[in-house]
Amino acid sequence: MNIPTTVNSLNDEPFAVVEQFSEVQIVQLHELVQQQWWGGKRTLEQVRIMAANSSLTIGLADAASGRLIGFCRALTDFIFRATIYDVMVDRAYQGQGLGGKLLDTLCNHPRMQEVGQIYLACEPRLFPFYERWGFKVYEARTEWMVKVQREEL
C-alpha cells in the first residue's frame, strides 16, 4: 500500500498531522500498537487492515523525519455516532500534549462536525484525561453488549 502522506503543520510545532499513511508509517503504526498493553500480538497485516478500514485515521508525525509518533482512529457513520479507538502516543513523546492534539484533530475534523455523539472506551484511570475534552462516563438506559466472534490477539 503506497498511499501519499497528507501532512498539515501544527502551529509551527515540530509535529505534523497525517491522515493517509505511507507504508513506512504503517510499519511505525504497528510498532506503536506493539507498545500498548492490548496490542502485543497484533500483526503488521492486521494493523494494515485496521487502518485501511477505519472511517477516519489521524496520526502525528515528527515534522522533520516523518516518523509516526501518535495515532487515533474512529469508526463512524459521520452523522449519528462515532467511536474513537486506539488513542496512542509513542512512549518517548508522551507528556507533551500530543494525546490532546490527536483528540482535538479527530473531534474537530470537518467530517466529524455533524456527528451527534462520540463514544470511546478506556480504563477508568484515564477518565480525567478524556473529561478535559468533554467526555463523561456514559450512564443511560442501555448498556453495551459484546459478542466475541474470535478472541483478540
pLDDT in tens, 87-109: 999 999 999 999 999 999 999 99
Residue 31's pLDDT band, with cuts at 50, 70 and 90, is very high
Judge contact between 110 and 94, C-beta under 8 A: no
pTM of the model: 0.85
With b for 16 or more beta-carbon neighbours within 10 A and e for fewer, the 95-123 pattern comes to: ebebbebbbebbbebeebeebeebebeee
C-alpha cell at 54: 477505519
Q: Domains, the chain, ranges and CATH?
A: 7-131 (3.40.630.30)
- pLDDT, averaged across the chain: 89
* Alpha carbon 131 to chain centroid, angstroms: 17
Tell me how far CA of residue 25 lies from CA of 16, 66, 78, in angstroms. Answer: 13, 8, 26
Q: pLDDT by residue (tens digit) across 32-82?
A: 999 998 888 899 999 999 999 999 999 999 998 999 999 999 999 999 999
Closest CA to 60 of 95, 27, 23, 93: 93
Would you state the pLDDT for residue 15? 93
**pLDDT above 50: residue 3:** no
Closest CA to 17 of 59, 70, 52: 59
Cα separation, 114 vs 112, in Å, equals 6
